[in-house]
Amino acid sequence: MMARRGFTLIELLVIMAIIGLLIALLLPAVQQAREAARRSQCRNNLKQIALALHNYESTHGAFPGGSMYVVVGTDTISNASAWGRSILPFIDQSALANQLDPSQSPFLGTNLNLIATSVPVYRCPSTNAPAKTIVEWSSATTTANGNPKLLPVTPSPGLNITFGPIDYFALVDVRNPLFSANLSMIPGYTASRTAGFFYHGTYNAASCIVGGDTAAETILKSVTAGKTRIFGTRISEITDGTSNTIMIGENAARNLYMAHNKSIVAGSPEANINPTEFAKLNSQQNNFSGGGWADPQNAFWIRGAARSGMDWDGTTPSNTDTSACVVNCTNKHSRGFYSFHTGGAHVALGDGSVKFISENTDNLVLASAATRAGSETESLNQ
């Protein structure tokens, strides 16, 4: 009987090389398939959120306020809320909503623990970030009962809050340079037409105030540019058409400070480009907050950022710069849209539809889609 012949070393090496080559060829395809599935789920999340917002509007006659503060005395916030909390009953989270005590501050007692709950529909599966978002209210002081005072000073002691994360934000309006370098170039266009879907009042505000204390309202306006308005946006106010107006967009991985998929922290090479300026920005709560569904700061405007995603490196766009980055350069508060998807980010329009906006979308088109009553001719649907 002839002896059975085994593989030679060379044959074995060739086979191993072929297997390695096949793995190398297939791995990117597997990764792309996984990202396609994650991206599809992220899109579906936005559709569910948009539907919930419309169900809220059908029930209450208006959309929820982007954020709301209840003020007491001259400078104390006794309560606060956010749109992500308002729509909990409409995203199959009635049990969580019913446990929250609306008469108490979200920053106290049982509410403080509940707002740390992670709600799946608020998380884009593509996002590379911790499961919970911790924010220090560094532009507020604290009172004896734990409620933050809205004063532009550093807290002593600080108030650290763990929020359940959200990768989407409510769009309020358009500011410079996105406004000044684009919309203001339209003949006859004024800043009064930049109101976004969740705009409140006449000061381009993200917040409405409930409370009759004039001094408290003055303080709140000085910090958030707010103006009293109890109710949210009504359909009749979206004169550009709901299918032409961005309602919700991706701004993922807050309260980490991201620039082009890199988390920027003190001491990193990116931060050390200008450590003094980075430290200044990194100490200001309004630069990186809003990453929680119960965080009142999760409603803000868009204005564009440096293409590098780093406003401390000397490349911050001027008010005449038409090329300010609005998509996927940074998740810094109020700069624009940010996702971990390749090439762009998702937005939900006022009619409930969801679009993927490219990083290469013209800024005038983006600015036009961000206003609800600007009467622009540019549209994401063109």
- Confidence check: pLDDT of 150 > 60: no
What secondary structure does DSSP assign to 127-154, as a single string? --S-SSEEEE-TT-EE-TTSPEE--SS-
Query: 150 versus 347: which is more confidently predicted?
Result: 347
Query: 28 versus 125: which is more confidently predicted?
Result: 125
Residue range 31-50: mean pLDDT, rounded: 89
Strands 207-210 and 67-72: parallel
- In one-letter notation, the amino acid at residue 69 is Y
**Pairwise CA distance, residues 32 & 349, whole Å:** 27
- Confidence check: pLDDT of 203 > 80: no
- In one-letter notation, the amino acid at residue 344 is G
**Pairwise CA distance, residues 347 & 280, whole Å:** 31
pLDDT of residue 202: 47
- Confidence check: pLDDT of 114 > 80: yes
- Winning range, highest mean pLDDT, from 140-144, 155-159, 204-208, 366-370: 366-370
Confidence class for position 263, pLDDT limits 50, 70, 90: confident
Among 123-137, 210-224, 320-334, the range scoring the smallest mean pLDDT is 210-224
Instruction: Give SS3 for 54.
Output: helix
- Confidence check: pLDDT of 16 > 80: yes
DSSP 373: S
pLDDT of residue 338: 97
Give Cα 95 to chain centroid, integer Å: 25
Confidence class for position 341, pLDDT limits 50, 70, 90: very high
- Confidence check: pLDDT of 32 > 60: yes
Residue (of 253, 273, 274) closest to 262 by Cα position? 253
- In one-letter notation, the amino acid at residue 46 is L
Q: Are 255 and 111 in contact (CB under 8 A)?
A: no
- Winning range, highest mean pLDDT, from 140-144, 209-213, 335-339: 335-339
**Pairwise CA distance, residues 252 & 129, whole Å:** 8
Q: Where are the alpha helices (DSSP H) in the chain?
A: 9-60, 83-86, 94-99, 109-114, 214-224, 275-282, 363-369
213-239: pLDDT as tens digits: 555 455 555 444 334 444 688 899 999
**Pairwise CA distance, residues 264 & 278, whole Å:** 10
Element (H, E) at 247: strand 246-250
- Winning range, highest mean pLDDT, from 66-75, 97-106, 298-307: 298-307
Tell me how far CA of residue 361 lies from CA of 46, 126, 219, 344, 378, in angstroms: 20, 21, 38, 9, 11
DSSP 36: H
Direct distance between the N- and C-terminal alpha carbons of the chain, in angstroms, rounded to an integer: 77
**Pairwise CA distance, residues 65 & 84, whole Å:** 10
Burial 107-137 (b: 16+ CB within 10 A, else e): beeebbebbbbebebbbbbbbebeeebebbb
- Confidence check: pLDDT of 133 > 60: yes
Extents of the domains making up the chain? 67-369
Instruction: Give SS3 for 303.
Output: coil
Element (H, E) at 9: helix 9-60
pLDDT of residue 155: 39
Element (H, E) at 160: strand 160-163
Query: 362 versus 11: which is more confidently predicted?
Result: 362
Element (H, E) at 80: strand 76-82
Rounded mean pLDDT of the chain? 81
Q: In the numeric block, which tokens belong to residue 164?
A: 């359940």
- Winning range, highest mean pLDDT, from 197-201, 221-225, 269-273, 364-368: 364-368
Confidence class for position 148, pLDDT limits 50, 70, 90: low
351-366: pLDDT as tens digits: 999 999 999 999 999 9
Sign, Cα dihedral of 107, 109, 112, 114: negative
Q: In the numeric block, which tokens belong to residue 217?
A: 């309202």
Q: Are 121 and 49 in contact (CB under 8 A)?
A: yes
Confidence class for position 207, pLDDT limits 50, 70, 90: low
Confidence class for position 206, pLDDT limits 50, 70, 90: low
- The pLDDT > 90 percentage for the chain reads 44
**Pairwise CA distance, residues 327 & 307, whole Å:** 10
Residue (of 346, 373, 370, 365) closest to 357 by Cα position? 346
**Pairwise CA distance, residues 216 & 235, whole Å:** 30
50-88: pLDDT as tens digits: 999 999 999 989 899 888 776 665 556 667 788 999 999
- Confidence check: pLDDT of 324 > 50: yes
Element (H, E) at 5: none
Q: Rg of the chain's alpha carbons, rounded to an integer? A: 23
pLDDT of residue 224: 44
